[in-house]
Structure 1
Amino acid sequence: MLPEGWRKASLEDVADIRSGIAKSQKTIVNPISLPYLRVANVQDGYLDLRDVKTIEIDKEKINRFSLHSGDVLMNEGGDFDKLGRGDVWRGQIMPCLHQNHVFAVRPDQNKLDSYFLANLSASPYGKGYFLSCAKRSTNLASINSTQLKQFPVILPPLPEQKKIAAILSTWDRAIEGTEKLLANSQQQKKALMQQLLTGKKRLPGFTGEWKICSLSDVATVQTATSKTQYICENGERFIVDMGSVNRLGNLVCTKSTQHNADLLPKGTLVMPKDDIGGGNIIGRTSYIDRDDLYVLGDHVYALHIGDCDSKFLHFLINSHPINKNLRRRANGTAQLGLGKKDVLRQKIKIPSEFSEQKAIAAVLTTADEEITALESDLARLRQQKKALMQQLLTGKRRVKVD
C-alpha cells in the first residue's frame, strides 16, 4: 500500500533504457578509440574508475553509446547480492561509452530523480525484483533489458524523491569517508609490516641482531582428525577446520561443538594446510586468543610456539614474502595441500631479543584493532542505511519537503 500521491510505473515509462557497445564489432569504417565502462567499473553504489579501458568505435555511433551526466548505470549480471548494482554517472570522463553488459538508464528528469532510482534499485525492494526474474546459474544471476524495462518503480512526487535521495546521500558520504579511513589504515599496516618484520625500521631502544632460523626451531606442528561428527547447535566451543582461517588471517569459525579433545591453548597458531579454492588460504595463520575455546579439526595445522613470541610469528608468517613461499610449496590438482615438512623448513628472520618481538607484535596488534574498529563502523553505517532505505523508499517513513 503506497502513501497518497505515490504511484508505481514501469521503468520504461519514466526512463530510457540504453544497451551498450559490444566488443566484437564488425567492420568499423571511421574508427576512433574512446574510454568505456565495463562490468568491473560498475560496483555496488560506486564507480571504480582506476582502470578504464578503451574501445574502437565508428565516429558516427559515438552519440548512440555515449554516457550522459545523470545516467544510472546498472550491470546486467553478477553475484546474487550484486545484481542490479550501480551508481549515477556524473560525467567524470567525457566522452565515455558503456559496454553491452552495462545498462545506461536515462531517467525523465521531470518524473524520476537519478539518485532516487539508484537507491531504489540497490534497496531490498529493487534487489528483490531483480532476483525474482533473473536467470540464475550456480553463483551468478543476470537480467535482460526487457526485465529491466518492466521494473516497477515506486514514484513519490519529484520533490520528495530528491529529499529522500539527499538524506541517503548523507549516509553515502559517511560510508565513503569510513571506507577511505579503512583503506588508509590497511595500507599503513601493510607498510608497518614491510618495515618492522624485516628489520628495515627498528623500534626505539632496540639494536640487537636478528637471526635466521627455520620454523622448526621455534615451533612444533600438530594435526588432528575431522570433528564433523561432533558438530552440534549451541556448543560451547568452535571447530577449527579448512574454512576457519580467511585469506586475511582472521579466524572465522562457524561450527560449534561440545567436544573437548584436541583443545587449542592460547598462543597457538592455526594454519590451513589444504584448500580447494585456489590456494589463497594455504599458509595463512590465525592466532588463538583464548584457552580451551577452539578444537582442532582436519585440514589445519596447529603450530605450538616455543622460542619466539607467537603473535610476532603470526604476523611474520602472514607477511607477503613468507606466505608467498609457503603457497608456492603447495601441490595438488583439485585440492592443493601443503606438507608438514615444507612448513617446518621455511626460513624466517627474527629479532634475537624476545622483547623486540613482543614490541613489534604490539604495534601491529594496535593497527589490527584500529582496522577492526573501522570495519565495525562501516558495517553499522551500511546497516543503518539499509534500514533507512527500506523505510524511506517504500513510504513507510515520510520526509518533509520544504
Structure 2
Amino acid sequence: MREGWRDVHFEELVSDTQLGTTERGELDDEDNIPLLKMGNLTWGGFDLRTTEHIALRHIIGSNLILKPGDLLFNTRNSADLVGKSAVWQGQFRSAVFDNNINRIRLKPIADPAFYGTFLNTGVGKRRVQSLAVGSTSVAAIYWKDLKNLQVPLPPLPEQRKIAEILRTWDEALEKLTALRAAKERRLSALRAALLFGRLRLGGLGHKWVPTRLDTVTHELTKRNGGKGLGRDFVMGVTKAEGVVPMREQTIAGDISRYKRLPPRAFAYNPMRINVGSIAMNEREGEVLVSPDYVVFACNPDALDPDYLDHLRKTSWWGHYINSGGSGSVRQRTYYDDLAALKLPLPELDEQKAIAAVLNTARDDLAATEREIEALTRQKRGLMQKLLTGKWRVNSEKELA
C-alpha cells in the first residue's frame, strides 16, 4: 500500500445509511417535492430530465430530505445497472428518494466526491458489481455485503485534491458535450433548411422538381464470385457507425454470393432500414455485404451521393421508410419500395453546393466527438493512476 494510504472496509467510512420511501410519485404533480428513482441515477451522475414528485405530507419526519454530499446508491436494478451511484450536489432545493436507493452519508474522514468517483469507475466499479445477487433481469446489492467492500483510504487532503483534479476534467467534458449538442442542432437545422429549399444558397434559384428515386439511382446486384474479394472485405451496416467490418462468426462459409458495394454506393438490410440501418460506403475501395442486402448507386449525372447521404438522415426520410415497405409480420423495404420515394431535388450543381455546406458542419461535429473521445480516454487513464495511488498528489503540487 502507498505511503499514507490504507485499505479499509467501506463501513468504516460511513456514518449513516437510509433506504428511501415506498410511496409512489406522480409525473404531473410538480407542485410537490421531487422523488429520485433508480432511473435518475447514472454511473457517477444524474439524469433529471424526467422526475416524479411526491406530496410533502408523505415524508414529513422521515429524514429522507437529501443534503449536498449524500451518496445515493442503487440497490436493485438489472444486473448491468445495479450498483450505480452518484453524489447529490443540491440540484433541486429539496428532493427525496425511493426504496431502490440507499442514501449513504460519510464520516468526515471521507470525501464524497472521491468515493463517488471510485465506486463508479475501474476497480471500484468492478468490486461493487461483483457483490450483486439475483438474476440478469433483477439483481440486488445489499448493505450487509456493500459494507465489507474494500476501498482505499488516502489522507483527506489527498482525497480532495484528487477529486478537484478529476472535477476539472469533468468540467471540460461537460463543455465539450454541450458544444457537441449545439453542433448537432446546427447540423439538423441546416439539413431541414437546405435539403427542402427553405434556405437557398446565393445565386442558385432554379425550381426544384420532385423526383422519384429510381430515376436518379440504379440497383446493383453484382456478386463476389468464386475468385473475388476475401473475408476481410465483408461488411455490415449499422445506424450508429455506418459500414463496418462484420464479425467473423456471422459471415457465411461461402462468400461467393455476397454483393459488391462500390465506394459512395449505398447498402441496407431490407428488414432494418426502418431503424436507420442504411449507409454509404465511404471507404476508398469496394467491399462486400450480405447477399440479403439491397445495394444501389446514384446516377452520376443526376444525384450527388453526399446529398442523398444527408437527406437519409432527416425525419422526412424516416417517415417515408416507416410508412412504406411490405410484409405483414416485419416490414421489408426492397429497392422497388424505396424507388417510389419522391426526392426534393434541385439541379446537380446546387446539390453539390448544399452537400459541401452540410459536410463542413458534419465534419466540425465529428471533430468535437473525437475531442470528447480523446479526453474521455485521458480521464480514464488519469483515474486509474490517481484512484489507486500510483500517482500521488498533495496540496502543494498536483502530481508527485
Same fold? TM cut 0.5: yes
Q: Rate the CA distance shift 1:309–1:137 in 2: closer, same or farther, 3 A.
A: farther
- Report what 1:147 is aligned to: 145
Q: What TM-score do the two structures reach when normalised by structure 1?
A: 0.85
Q: Deviations over 1:59-116 (max 9, x none)?
A: 55454221111112233355766553333211121210112223322211x1110100
- 1:224–1:297: 8 Å Cα contact kept in structure 2? no
One-letter code of the match for 1:346?
A: L
Q: Would you say the 8 A contact 1:274–1:299 is kept in 2?
A: no
Q: Which residue number corresponds to residue 300 of structure 1?
A: 293
The corresponding residue for 2:99 is 100
Distance 2:325 2:73 in 1: 40
- 1:121 and 1:340, CA in 2 relative to 1: closer, same or farther beyond 3 A? same
Contact 2:221/2:259 (8 A) holds in 1: no
Counterpart Cα distance in 2 of 1:301 and 1:252? 16
In the TM superposition, residue 390 of structure 1 has moved relative to its aligned partner by 1.1
C-alpha distance in structure 2 between counterparts of 1:93 and 1:102, whole Å: 17
Report the equivalent of 2:235.
239
CA contact (8 A) 2:209 2:344 kept: yes
* Counterpart position of 1:393: 387
Residue by residue over 1:130-187, the C-alpha shift from the partner in whole angstroms, topping out at 9 and shown as x without a partner, is 2222236557754333333332221101111001111111111111111111111111
The answer (yes or no) to whether the contact 1:20–1:101 under 8 Å persists in 2 is yes
The gaps in structure 1 that reach 5 residues or longer are: 26-31
Q: What are the residue-to-residue correspondences of 1:241-280 with 2, within 5 Å?
A: 244-246=237-239, 248=240, 250-255=242-247, 262-275=259-272, 279-280=274-275
The 8 Å contact of residues 35 and 98 in structure 2, kept in 1 or not, is answered as yes
Cα 1:208–1:80 shift into 2, 3 Å: farther
Paired residue secondary structure (1:58) = helix
Distance 1:181 1:14 in 2: 38
Of the structure 1 ranges 355-364 and 338-347, higher mean CA displacement relative to structure 2 is found in 338-347
Cα distance between partner residues in 2 of 1:274 and 1:155? 54
Q: State the secondary structure of the residue aligned to 2:42.
A: coil
Residue range with higher mean Cα deviation, 208-217 or 126-135: 126-135
Partner AA of 1:374 in structure 2: T
Counterpart for residue 326 of structure 1 = 321
- The residue aligned with 1:184 is 182
**Alpha-carbon separation, structure 1, partners of 2:144 and 2:361:** 49
Deviation of residue 354 (structure 1)?
0.4
2:119 aligned residue: 121
Relative to structure 1, the CA distance from residue 342 to residue 395 in structure 2 (aligned partners, 3 Å threshold; closer, same or farther) is: same
The answer to whether the aligner puts 1:363 opposite 2:353 as a matched pair is no
Q: Tell me the equivalent position of 1:40.
A: 39
Q: Distance in 2 between matches of 1:342 and 1:131?
A: 48
Counterpart of 2:28 in structure 1 is: none
Conserved in 2, the CA contact under 8 Å of 1:245 and 1:272?
A: no
Whole-Å separation in 2 of the counterparts to 1:397 and 1:10: 22
- 1:35-114 matched pairs, under 5 angstroms: 35-56=34-55, 58-61=57-60, 63-76=62-75, 82-108=81-107, 110-114=108-112
Alpha carbon RMSD of aligned pairs, Å? 3.0
- 1:22 aligns with 22
Contact 1:263 1:292 in 2 (8 A): no
SS at match of 1:252: strand
Distance 1:361 1:187 in 2: 17
Name the stretch that deviates more: 60-69 or 301-310. 60-69
Normalised TM-score (structure 2): 0.85
Judging changes above 3 Å, is the alpha-carbon distance between structure 1 residues 140 and 221 closer, same or farther for their aligned structure 2 residues? Answer: farther
**Whole-angstrom CA distance in 2 between matches of 1:11 and 1:200:** 60
Looking at structure 2, the residues matched to 249 and 212 of structure 1 have their Cα atoms a distance apart, in angstroms, of 30
Please state how far the C-alpha of 1:249 moved relative to its aligned partner.
6.6
Report the counterpart of residue 28 of structure 1 in structure 2: none
Q: Paired residue for 1:206?
A: 204
Alpha-carbon separation, structure 1, partners of 2:64 and 2:222: 59
In 2: Cα distance, 1:136 partner to 1:330 partner: 42
CA pair 146-347 structure 1, distance change in 2 beyond 3 A:
farther
Distance between the aligned counterparts of 2:52 and 2:24, measured in 1?
15
**CA displacement, residues 211-240 of structure 1 (integer Å, 9 cap, x when unaligned):** 10221121223468899xx998xx542323
1:162/1:239 Cα in 2 relative to 1: closer, same or farther (>3 Å)?
same
Indicate if the aligned counterparts of 1:249 and 1:318 stay in contact, CA closer than 8 A.
no
Structure 2, unaligned runs of 5 or more: 26-30
